[in-house]
Structure 1
Amino acid sequence: MTTTDPVRDTRDPDRIRGTRIPARVKIMAWMLGLMLLVLATVVLVVWQLLASGVDNRVARAIEQEAGEFANFAGEAKDPATGQPISDPYRLLDAHLRAQYPDAFEVHLGITRTGDRLRALRQGEPPYDIGADDALLRQIVDSPTPHGQADTPAGPFRWGKVHALPREGTGDGGWFVTGYFLTGVGAQDRQTIDLMVLVSAVGLLVAALVAWLVAGEILAPVRMVRLAAAQIGEEDLRRRIPVHGRDDISALAEQFNAMLDRLEQAFRAQREFIDDASHELRTPITIVRGHLEVMGDDPVERAEVVRLCTDELDRMSRIVEDLLLLAKAQRPDFLRPEPVSLAELTSDIDAKVRALGRRRWVLETLGEGNVRLDPQRVTQAVVQLAQNAVQHTSDGDEIRLGSALYGGAVSLWISDEGRGIAPADLDRIFERFARGPSRPADRGGAGLGLAIVKAIAEGHRGTVKVLSSPGKGTTVGIELPNSQSVVDGVG
């Protein structure tokens, strides 16, 4: 029986429907397809316009020639008598002698006597219509003054005008003029052929330009892809160069921002693993050592159990502190809300008094509403108070204060302990850092001040220390009191 992988099932259809055609080729294909459509449309439109132009020119030319013959027939006179010409043959012959048709134009004079047709032709057309008796009869017998016939030289469009028909008989004459459309449209076809050739060359040039332009546009995307392929957990410092302010540059900026977040996440994970392996190794060793040498004596067993329980509690506190520091990188680390600074300070004062038998003094109480995470701020100030208790003795004075000024919130703890050496001021907020002045018998893993710093930075604030050896220490957090601290953002 086979099982189905739901993840694979959701991916396979997309993989099957996908394409391996490079984006550069797709861009070029779309550009060429669009150009081909536009050029084809232009060629077809021009072709239709030229074809329509040929029809109009031929129709106007036939109408003009017919009108000229009609005018000539109405005014022509016999030179010998001075009277109008009455013989159709002489009338047609006189008119044709004065005509000079184009290469694909034909002028005919057709006379009929009885059943016999006789044709007079002017010009050298590609096909001798005057010798085609069937075509002549088709033209003469047509009831319309114009028409079109098929010839070995292509379509022939004609127009005719009666020339002195004899009343009551079938005899008479006709002036026929026409054009071979294939020849007339030859120049237009050459124009279309030239347009097609130029379009083909233009497409080739456009293909080359599209290939180069697409490559230039996609170069940053290709850099992003190559960078993504080369980036690993051990090489998250690589970034994409950003040039310009276009969409591709914005993509590179977003990719770099994503790498920043990944690097920060991997760094936090690596620090968590390193810190956990470093700090948990000692209590584990202690527990294992005591269990290995534990004897059968009940008193000894009870002592070993007490020591192991103490070490396990210390391990639990270390793990909780490490998880808290790891959570400081998450967006839901803080939950700011409007609170009263005076009430918050009073609540903290009530809590820290239970940390040790010291002379607790609430020296300053800030007034006003502030926006911060009250639980995290309380945790930070209580941690500072706990540190002060560990570095002072019974009966020593420890002062708590708060203030609201210039858009900033400040809370601090002051003691009269040994103070901190200047060399230790820069490292006391590091993880597992222990100053040399700290008593060796005090518990803790050295994560307290690191947690305080994480809470302050989560509020976009800072931690400040004022201390001199033998003169006590003041440690406080200064936070912005601004609506820019968005709920849930650390």
Structure 2
Amino acid sequence: MTTTTERVTPVGPAPPAPPERRTRGVPARVLIMCWLLVLMTVVLVAVCLITRNLLRQEAFSDATAALEQEALEYHEVARTGVDQTTRQPFPTVNALLENHVRMQYPDDDEVIFGWIEGGGYLHQARTGPIPLNRHQDITDTIIASPASAGVVSTPAGDMQWIKVVTTAPDGGRGAYVVGYLIDRDLAEIDATIRTLALVSLLGLVFAGGAAWVVAGQILAPVRLVRQAAAEITERDLTSRIQVAGNDDIAALSEQFNAMLDRLEQAFATQREFLDDASHELRTPITIVRGHLELMDPAGGDPAERAEVVRLCTDELDRMSRIVDDLLLLAKAERPDFVRPEPVELAELTSDVDAKVRALGDRDWRLDGIGVGIVHVDPQRVTQAVVQLAHNAVQHTEPGDRIMVGSARTGGLVSFWVTDTGPGVTPAEIEVIFDRFTRAGGGRGHRGGAGLGLAIVRAIAEAHHGTVKVLSTPGSGATFGIELPGGAR
């Protein structure tokens, strides 16, 4: 997809910069189809490999089971030593092996032979699947092996074998051997896997075509949303995408409209903030300029010049505080604005209480002290509580009571400042933490720019906490912050 970014440049002699366009990458439709084919290829390859391994394991297991069954049958006959046809005992090992080898009907892939010590080999009359009577080297290898089972190479492929050695009471020895040639079973398995791979390949081709068609149908509404978004960008932020249905595209349209609402509100807030900031900064600049223009640089009363310098310095200090507060609020958007660490709540509260007592001549009281280890940024928390205490000092008279306290309840830790000032109305509570707002509805004043409570809220929200206000007009107010992570 292609994203178009429109830049707004100031009016001036320079022409507006052309809109930047991102290089068109791989279309989403192609990506969807490719990812689906890659996923299906991985799955089908895994299925083929797993199926092949399972079938081979089953073939080897069946061969081993067949050999063990043949060996068990011979072992049972040798143990009883009785011919089941005549019900007479076998006189020698030779007679036992001749009878048992002659009576067996092996599978197409099985071979059976006997060996008599000093008497040679006993073979069946059939020749398949391999005439071992012509390959004495193979039979000699099996008989000479000290193991009772193993695998030997033959012209017809690898052969699994199992051997049962019999010793007669008269000292005669012999061996009964059963072999299984498994290569034909493995060849059938490979043929099955090749067929499965061919069917999988045809399935991939069909799935690729289906993915191309379905992805086009799915992405068609997305293209409509993109086109509508481009038109909105070119016009203004007041237009919205029409929402129809209740599917994912409708949800995307709703979220896009909500984003436009937030952007429009953010731009409005930014304009208001710039207006307020320019107003607050313009006032001290105007005052300083006015006094400097009225001051006589060549003479005049020294006391008057000192007063002008004092007034200008005061206004410059106030402007510096406004700039510092604005910079602090800007830093509040950074992830490292607060650095929580384990601190003792009682010690932190005592430190805050000692610092706020220097803010003014008030009847300072410690309302409560929480105990335990809490996980907060002690410097930012101190800054917030001191700011609340400073706000209380501004709205009280010398000798009035101001109480500071803290508490820990479950997973929350709270700090608060209670004063006996005029309080705030419910309407003021709604906006009192906004920038450049102060109680009484004013926009800044000589005592402050209305940024203190905004800083308090920024510190609380950086801790993922909230600010609280409890007040009855005419009966004082309680301002506080409530932060998570209190119990550590």
Distance between the aligned counterparts of 1:435 and 1:31, measured in 2? 61
Match of 2:292 in 1: 291
Count of residue pairs the alignment pairs up: 301
Cα 1:28–1:340 change in 2 (3 A) is: closer
User: C-alpha displacement at 1:240, in angstroms?
Assistant: 10
Task: Give the SS at the match of 1:370.
Answer: strand
Q: What is the alpha-carbon distance in structure 2 between the residues aligned to residue 264 and residue 483 of structure 1?
A: 37
Go from structure 1 to structure 2 and tell me whether the alpha carbon gap of 1:434 and 1:240 turns closer, same or farther (over 3 Å shift): same
1:37-436 equivalences in 2 (<5 Å): 212-219=213-220, 221-223=222-224, 225-226=226-227, 229-230=230-231, 232=233, 235=237, 269-270=270-271, 272-296=273-297, 297-299=300-302, 300-436=304-440
SS of the residue corresponding to residue 303 of structure 1 reads helix
Instruction: Pick closer, same or farther for the CA change 1:468–1:252 going to 2, 3 Å.
Output: closer
Q: How does 1:445-464 map to 2 (within 5 A)?
A: 445-464=449-468
Q: Return the alpha-carbon distance in structure 1 between the equivalents of residues 218 and 264 of structure 2.
A: 28
- CA shift, 1:317, in A, is 0.9
Cα deviation code 1:121-161 (max 9, x no counterpart): xxxxxxxxxxxxxxxxxxxxxxxxxxxxxxxxxxxxxxxxx
Letter in 1 for 2:237: D
Partner of 2:133: none
Letter in 2 for 1:452: V
**Alpha-carbon shift at residue 228 of structure 1 (Å):** 5.5
How large is the RMSD of aligned CA atoms in angstroms? 4.8
TM-score by length of 1: 0.50
Q: Secondary structure at the match of 2:398?
A: coil
In 1, the alpha carbon distance for the partners of 2:411 and 2:36 equals: 57
Q: What per-residue deviation string (whole Å, max 9, x for no partner) do you get for residues 301-324 of structure 1?
A: 332222222111111111111222
The answer to whether the Cα contact below 8 Å between 2:273 and 2:435 also exists between their aligned partners in 1 is no
Q: Residues 256, 347 of structure 1: CA spacing in aligned structure 2 closer, same or farther, 3 A cutoff?
A: farther
Stretches of structure 1 lacking an aligned partner (at least 5 in a row): 1-14, 33-202, 485-490
Q: How far is 1:474 from its partner?
A: 1.6
Between the aligned partners of 1:384 and 1:451, the Cα distance in structure 2 is 10
Distance (Å, rounded) in 1 between the aligned partners of 2:222 and 2:420: 60
- AA in 2 matched with 1:384: L
Contact 1:353 1:360 in 2 (8 A): yes
Q: What do residues 50-87 of structure 1 show as CA deviations (whole Å, max 9, x unaligned)?
A: xxxxxxxxxxxxxxxxxxxxxxxxxxxxxxxxxxxxxx
Contact persistence 2:325–2:455 (CA under 8 A): yes
Change (3 A) 1:390 1:365: same
Q: Distance in 1 between matches of 2:441 and 2:258?
A: 42
Q: How much does 1:419 deviate?
A: 2.4
> Which structure would you say has the larger Rg?
1
Task: Give the secondary structure class of the aligned counterpart of 2:218.
Answer: helix
Deviation at 1:207, TM superposition (A): 10
CA deviation map 1:329-356 (0-9, x unaligned): 3322222222111111011011101111
The two structures have a TM-score, normalised by structure 2, of: 0.51
What is the match of residue 476 of structure 2?
Answer: 472
In structure 1, the residue matched to 2:116 is none
* Unpaired stretches in structure 2, ≥5 consecutive residues: 1-20, 38-204
